[in-house]
Amino acid sequence: MRVCFVSHTANRNGAELALLELLQGLSKSGVQCLVFVPRKGPLLIELTRLNIEWRILGYPWWWKPWRRSLPHRVLRTLKSLVASVRMAIILVQWRCDLVYTNTVASSTGALAARLARKPHVWHLHESGYRNSRMQFDLGAGLAARLINRLSALIIVVSRAVADDYSRYINSERMHVVYQSVTLHYEGEKANDLKHDNSAFQCVVVGSLQPWKGQAEAITALAEVVHRGVDAHLLLVGGGEKSYLAELHRQVEDHGLEQRVTFTGYVNDPMQFIRMADVILMCSRWEAFGRVTVEAMLAGKAVIASARGGTIEQIEDGKTGLLYECGNPFELAEKIQYLYENPGLRLKLGQAAHTWAADRFTQERYAKEMLDLFTQVLVKEKTPVD
């Protein structure tokens, strides 16, 4: 089987890491893979290391933060059409059997597959309706209908994502496949950071964005410190300067300068996860929650907001703790509870590891995806009566 994969970036974020896991698993099964990327980036280093063939072919996204003017949207749509023609030619030359688009960000792969008369699979790692900044050039409704029409199969990363798209896409055409998560440890120099290692370590991993909930974590920290808990908050990730400045002001307002540490962007956050007493997942809504699974595999207790795909990963009181999103005082209660009950914290971490270890393997992920790809190809070859 020869499969062409279309990545929306050449970075190493969650969706790209999931793609790398899939490529590695499929390659072990004998699938030949070709990956399209829109520009250079660190993903190419990983693809080369895995001996995966790749091509750079500039193609735009079909959504942008905030709605742009009509001329901008028309121009971007035309660029996508041109890129689709170029990609379709390569698909035919490479004798591709199936085209796979990773994330909702770009429609080029789907259009190219239609032009080349190849079956197309769209893998949705996010919801187009949860982020108010995500504005499709063609509108969210039409975009979802095109995803449906241009795809032989639609794969989603959680039931939460499936529910969001069900208003436009028949649920029978969507398949929930949980991605694999493999822990890597590259030895970041966490000990060089200036913070009190003896304090109760709360860690938030994720890009600094308002919807990720770092501000909520800071408010919760202020509350537990006020109650006399010797706690420290580590914010792992980079982000926009304006939001970073806002978080620093919040820290100063609460007098937490010695209790909150910003690491900035790190290539691999695993050492910071390993040094945590508890991992906080404060996002308003996560489609999947890779960091949550990484923390569970590392045997760490997780306190997470009861939203989105996260509730498919954590059973409250058994494999972690859930709190009401937007309620930092309930979050503070949960933090204090685990601080005062180290035995329970250890028990939750062990149960989380046991639950996650057999569910997020690369072998299972590749097999499920390969079975779906095979079904698509069989269906395409089956004559219609």
Question: What CATH number is given to the structural domain containing 81?
Answer: 3.40.50.2000
* Alpha-carbon distances, residue 346 vs 258, 319, 343 (angstroms): 27, 11, 5
**Containing domain of residue 335, as a range?**
190-357
In this prediction, residues 192-197 reach a mean pLDDT of: 55
Pair 351, 365 in one domain: no
157 and 238 together in one domain: no
Q: Tens of pLDDT along 38-84?
A: 999 999 999 999 999 999 999 998 887 665 677 877 888 889 999 99
Between residues 333 and 195, which one has the greater pLDDT? 333
Q: What is the SS3 assignment for 43?
A: helix
Considering the domain architecture, whether residues 199 and 266 belong to the same structural domain is answered as yes
**Distance spanning both ends of the chain, measured CA to CA:** 26
Q: Tell me, yes or no, whether 133 and 217 share the same domain.
A: no
pLDDT at 192 over 90: no
Closest by CA to 48, choosing from 57, 37, 59, is 37
pLDDT-derived band of residue 168, with 50, 70 and 90 as boundaries? confident
Rg, C-alpha atoms of the chain: 22
Q: Is 48 within a domain?
A: yes
Per-residue pLDDT at 70: 74
Same domain? 168 vs 47:
yes
Do residue 353 and residue 367 come from a single domain?
Answer: no
- Domain count of the fold of the chain: 2
Mean of pLDDT values over 247-266: 95
Is residue 243 located within the same domain as residue 293? yes
The residues near 281 (Cβ < 8 Å, ≥ 6 apart) are 204, 213, 289, 291, 292, 295, 302, 303, 304, 305, 310
Mean pLDDT, rounded, of the chain = 91
Q: Is residue 113 part of a domain?
A: yes
Rounded Cα distance between 215 and 128, Å, is 24
Residue 338 in contact with residue 304, Cβ under 8 Å? no
Residue 170: per-residue pLDDT: 82
pLDDT at residue number 188: 47
Asked, for residue 185, whether it belongs to a domain, the answer is no
- Quote the pLDDT of residue 379: 87
Q: Are residues 231 and 288 in the same domain?
A: yes
Indicate if 194 and 174 belong to the same structural domain.
no
Which pTM value belongs to this model? 0.89
Is there a domain that residue 278 lies in?
yes
Confirm whether 67 is domain-assigned: yes
Inform me whether the pLDDT recorded for 116 exceeds 80: yes
The answer on 224 and 156 residing in a single domain is no
Higher per-residue pLDDT: 111 or 194: 111
Task: Kindly state the helix (H) or strand (E) to which residue 233 belongs, with its residue range.
Answer: strand 231-236
- Beta strand 63-65 pairing with 134-136: antiparallel
